[in-house]
Amino acid sequence: MKFGTLRKFLITAALAAVVGVSASATACSIETKRPRARITFELVTGDTTEEYVLDYDLYRNLYPNTVNHFIELAKAGYYDNTVIHDYETGEWYTGVYSYDKDAYSAAISGDSGSVGEYFANHSKESEYLNLFNDGKIKPTVYANTLFKTDKHGDIVYVDKDGKTVSGDTPGASPVRVISKDYAMPSLIGEFKNNVQQTINNGALTATAGSLKMFYYPSNSSDNASKSKVYVTPPKSGIMQADSKYNCATSAFTVQVGASTNSESNYCVFGKVRNQDDLDDLKNAVADYFEDTYGSNSYVVKSSDVAVTVYEPTSGWKPSSGGKCYNARTVEEVFDAPKSAIRIVSVKITKN
C-alpha cells in the first residue's frame, strides 16, 4: 500500500477531537481505574502533513503512580508539539524534545548544525523541572527520609507486625516518614524487578500498541545502580530502592511492533484501543519511508546528547538548604527519523 493511496481521516480526527473535549469536560472530575488518552500524531512529509488519532486505555488500577504522572504532564500540555527523537521500526521514543520544523529539517539535512545540537537546543527539561517545582507533578521518589518521633521527640520503633515497641527490642525498626524537602523530580518504576513490586491483577506485557515509561540509564554498571533512593509503592509503605529503576521523568515509548521486553523490567501503562488506527499510522510511516528513502537508512544518528539523570545527594539535610539531588548526564546517541514524526497533542479524554 502506497502512502498516496492511504485513506485520510482528518474529518474523523476533527470529530473525535470534539468528542474528546466533551468527554474531558464531563468526566475529568472523577478518577477511574482506566482513564483514556488521545494522542494525535503527525507525519511531516515535505510541505504536507497527515494527522493520525489514537486512543489509549491507561491502567491506573495496575500502575497508579505512572498513570497519574502521565496525566499530570498531559493536562499541563507538556507533551504537545514533541517529536519522536529515537526511531526503531517497532518502537518510538518521545516526550523529551519539542518540534521546530525548520530547525529539525536543517539539522537532519546537515544544512545547519548537528542532530545532537538540535536536541540540546530543544530539550524540555527546564519546563519539566518548573512543573515539578511548582507542585504540578506529585513526587514518588525521595533522596532520603525522616524518622517518625513521638511527642517526646524520641524515634518510634515497630516490630515486624507493625506494633510499636521500644528501640532495644530484637528486630525493631525505626519508622520512616517522607518529607517534601527530599522529593526528587523522577518517577517510581512500577514493575516487578523494582523492589519486587506486586502488580495487582497481573502486569501488562509489551505488545504492539503499548505505551511504556522509559528509564535512564539501563546499564547496571552505571553509577545510578549504586545510588539508593526511597520510594512509595502503593500499599507498601516506604521502601529503599535503586536509583536506576526510579529515574523516569517524561520520556515514554510508543510501541508499534512486536517486543521481547519483560513486564518485570518495564512499566507498560497503556494500550491502544483500536489496532486498526495504529496500523494506519505505522503503515503510513513505513510506506512513506520506503518510497522516499528506498533501501537507505530512514534515520540520522545524532552526536552525543546529554540526558539528565537525577541522583540523591549524600549527607543532604533539610536544615542545610538547597536541593536534595544531583543532576548529572549520560551520553546517548539517538536514531532520529529523517522525516519528523510529531506528537501534536496528548489529551486526557476520560479521567
**β-pair partners for 88:** 91
Q: Tell me if 172 sits within 8 A of 229, measured CB to CB.
A: no
Top pLDDT among 206 and 264 is at 206
Question: Cα(83)–Cα(100) distance, rounded to whole angstroms?
Answer: 9
pLDDT bin (cut points 50, 70, 90) of residue 6 is very low
Is residue 7 predicted with pLDDT exceeding 70? Answer: no
Nearest alpha carbon to residue 181 among 350, 23, 35, 324: 324
Residue 20: what are its φ and ψ, rounded to 5°? -60, -40
When pLDDT is averaged across residues 331-343 and rounded to a whole number, the result is 96
DSSP 296-339: S-SEEE---EEEEEEEEPTT--GGG-S-SEEEEEEEE--EEESS
- pLDDT tens-digit readout, 160-177: 898 999 999 999 999 999
Which has the higher per-residue pLDDT, 7 or 199?
A: 199
Q: How many CB atoms lie within 10 A of CB 110?
A: 10
pLDDT digits (tens, 9 = 90+) for 15-40: 333 334 444 444 445 789 999 999 99
Whole-number Å distance between alpha carbons of 222 and 224: 5
DSSP type of residue 159: -
Give residue 220's pLDDT band: very low, low, confident or very high (50, 70, 90): low
Rounded to an integer, the average pLDDT of 5-22 is 37
* Cα within 13 Å of Cα(226), Cβ side: 5
Q: Given the DSSP bridges, would you call strands 157-158 and 252-255 parallel, antiparallel or unpaired?
A: unpaired
Average pLDDT over residues 264-285: 94
pLDDT at 316 over 80: no
Lowest mean per-residue pLDDT among 77-81, 195-199, 310-314: 195-199
Please state whether the peptide bond connecting residue 318 to the residue before it is cis, i.e. omega within 30 degrees of 0: no
The least confident of 1-5, 127-131, 139-143, 337-341 is 1-5
Q: Distances in Å between the alpha carbon of 229 and those of 191, 235, 271, 277, 306? A: 16, 18, 30, 40, 22
Q: How confident is the model at residue 225 (pLDDT cuts 50, 70, 90)?
A: low
User: What's the CA gap between 133 and 112, in Å, rounded?
Assistant: 34
Name the percent of the chain lying above pLDDT 90.
Answer: 68
C-alpha cell at 181: 524537602
pLDDT at 344: 98
pTM value is: 0.88
Q: What percent of the chain has pLDDT over 70?
A: 87
Instruction: Residue 340: name the closest of 303, 304, 289, 272 by CA.
Output: 289
In angstroms, the first-to-last Cα distance of the chain is 37
What's residue 94's pLDDT?
98
pLDDT for residue 56: 98
Nearest residue to 90 via CA among 207, 233, 221, 252: 207
H-run or E-run covering 212: strand 210-213
Average pLDDT, the chain: 87
> pLDDT band at 48, cuts 50/70/90?
confident
What is the model's pLDDT at position 259?
A: 73
Kindly indicate the confidence band of residue 213, based on its pLDDT and cuts at 50, 70 and 90.
Answer: very high
Q: Between 140 and 12, where is the model more confident?
A: 140
Q: Give pLDDT tens digits for 85-110.
A: 999 999 999 999 999 999 999 999 98
What whole-number distance in Å separates Cα of residue 289 and Cα of residue 234? 43
Check whether 13 has a pLDDT greater than 90. no
For residue 215, pLDDT beyond 90: no
**What pLDDT score was predicted for residue 222?**
58
- pLDDT (mean) for 289-314: 92
Quick one: which of 202, 153, 149, 194 has its CA closest to 175?
A: 149
Residue 250: closest CA among 125, 346, 340, 152? 125
Average pLDDT over residues 29-58: 92
Res. 11: pLDDT tops 80? no
Q: Of the segments 217-221, 255-259, 282-286, which one has the largest average pLDDT value?
A: 282-286
